[in-house]
Amino acid sequence: MVRGRMILLLLVLAAPSWARAADPIMTFSESTAMLAKICGAEITANCRGVNLDSNRLKECLSRNQDVMSPSCKASYLVPFDQIQKRINARLTVAGACRLEIIKLCHGSTKETSKSVACLLSAKGVSRNCTQATIDAGYR
């Protein structure tokens, strides 16, 4: 009886991590929060005044690896990789949704951001386009 409750408790505690595995791309705010959590002290001490531009901040942290905490040094690249994945996902929306942007939304793939609201509400959007908007964080 106790063993069964312990297994059930472990399953309940593991469920959020399984749900997270289904969405491999973090949002920008989740990535930023992760970076602040693992390297906040290093950013404050060594990168003060650096804009929150992922390339500049990544460069600053790379230059200061000798004074980083072990946890920051081991995992500071993960949030930057997640930010880059999100940016790449947003860039693929134009290609994946080209037909929908032109036919359903009467827009241009050069200005995809103007068609996002239409794509989210339009009927008949392809699976690839829907997945691209999900990966990009629009849905």
Question: Considering its fold, how many domains does the chain have in total?
Answer: 2
Q: pTM for the complete prediction?
A: 0.65
Residues 105-131 have a mean pLDDT of: 87
pLDDT tens for 72-104 read 999 888 998 888 888 888 888 888 999 998 888
Question: pLDDT confidence of 22, banded at 50, 70, 90?
Answer: very low
Same domain, 67 and 41: yes
**Do the Cβ atoms of 47 and 57 come closer than 8 Å?**
yes
Same domain, 60 and 108: no
Amino acid at 128: N
Same domain, 70 and 32: yes
In a domain, residue 14? The reply is no
HSE-CB of 115 using CA atoms within 13 angstroms: 26
What count of residues does the chain have?
139
Residue range(s) defining the domain that contains residue 29 = 25-86
pLDDT value, residue 70: 92
In a domain, residue 9? The reply is no
In a domain, residue 13? The reply is no
Average pLDDT over all residues of the chain: 79
pLDDT value, residue 94: 86
